[in-house]
Every structure is written in structure tokens, then in C-alpha cells.
Amino acid sequence: MTARHPVVFLFDVDNTLLDNDHIASDLKRHLEREVGHERQERYWAIFEELRSELGYADYLGALQRYRVEYPRDPHVLTVSSFMVNYPFANRLYPNSLDVLERFRGWGPTVILSDGDAVFQPRKIERAGLQEAVDGNVLIYIHKERELDDVEQRYPADHYILVDDKLRILTAVKRVWDRRVTTVFPQQGHYAHDPRELASNPPADLTVDRIGDLLAYELSALLRAASRAKDATTATA
């Protein structure tokens, strides 16, 4: 039986620990050089179509579909090499690893991500994140729908979830309520999307950058969940 912990820390990857917007921009420039502007745009159109179908980003899946449309384009092989060999560690946000190390001193620290079954694990491994959390990595199709599995694997009295998407933080808060502290680092395009901000309540704690969490003690992170709930009750 898995031991129950007082607190478990859950960290998203893309635009939380890793600057995924920068990675996507690099891929766009590489595609532009290798296949030209028109086909680069077609790749991203396929990418968005696939994301709508699956619910998560699948860069390699989009490349496979692109290849079906352009079976004689040899540049597709250079693009795949660029993607799987990308230096992801260079795109970690400042102090990301320091934050993980600090939180590991307080309790089990887990990567909680959405994504495909090939590219996302490789990204996490090559960025050094898998090692930084002692191999505690969970990758789902829709992580906010798998909280019972998260609880079974990492049972805890309280969870602290760090994610750049308010939609995810809101969904998890509805399920775990005071048992979770939601932390919102305002990084990446989702964190500044007006529709996302308008359609979801604030997180328990908002920081400008992931590295700002180094200034917080565990007690303050635990109190943030109760303060936010009390404030909501008072204004209801």
C-alpha cells in the first residue's frame, strides 16, 4: 500500500517549468527554412486540427499527418530529427530546477502533464525534469479528469498544484476544494489569454514567474488555499 503524505506537489511542464512558447517558435522557424512558408502554415493547421480531436498537443502526430499529405517531401525527416533532439534543457525557465529541489525537501514532487506518449516523455526527460523529481512523472490525455488516479498513486492530505492554465486549476479546485492549493505562474500565452482569465476565478496564489516560489515557505502555500476559500465564502 502506498504511504499517505501530508503534502504532495504537482507541477505542470509546458509554460510552467519549460518555455514551450519559445520551443514552438523555434520549430516554426525551422519549418519555414525546411519546407517553406505555405507548408509550414499547413503543418500548424494540422497541428491545431489534431489538438481539437485529441485534447492535447501532439507535435509528432501532426508531423505524421503532414507526411501523408506530402509523402515525397524529404524535409520531413529533418524536422522530426529537430524535434526529438531539441535541447529542451536550454528552455527551462530560470530557477525551475531550484524550485523543484526546494519542494522535494518538503514532500513528493511530481510532474503532472498532458501530452502524447512519445514526444512529451522525451521532452521531460531531456529537459532534466524527470531526474529532478526522482522519476515521479504522470502524463495523461486530460489530467484534470484523472485525479482519482493521481490520488491512488500519490495519496496525500493536501496537494499543491502549479500550472499556467487557469482552466486546469479551476477544474482541479472543483474536485479537491480545500485539499489543494492552486498556484498560477503567469508565463506563456495561456496565462495572458483574456478569455481564459475572464472565464475562470483567480488561483489561490498567483506569481509572475516560477522562480518567485522560492520566496514562499510551505506554511504560506498551505494557508493560501484556506484564505482563498474564506474570501469566496465571505463574498457569496
pLDDT digits (tens, 9 = 90+) for 35-75: 999 999 999 999 999 999 998 889 999 999 999 999 998 88
Q: Is 60 helix (H, G, I), strand (E, B) or coil?
A: helix
Distance CA 86, CA 133 (A): 21
Superfamily name and number for 5-18+93-235: HAD superfamily/HAD-like (3.40.50.1000)
Tens of pLDDT, residue by residue over 118-138, are 999 999 999 999 999 999 999
Per-residue confidence (pLDDT) for residue 234, from 0 to 100: 39
pLDDT at residue 232 is higher than 90: no
Would you kindly state where each structural domain of the chain is located, as residue ranges?
5-18+93-235, 20-88
Q: Does the domain made of 20-88 have the CATH classification 1.10.286.50?
A: yes
Chain Cα centroid distance, residue 33: 28
Residue 235 has pLDDT above 70, yes or no: no
Contacts of 201 by beta carbon, 8 Å cutoff, 6+ apart: 166, 170, 232
pLDDT at 233: 41
Given a cut of 60, whether residue 1 has pLDDT beyond it is no
pLDDT digits (tens, 9 = 90+) for 87-97: 999 999 999 99
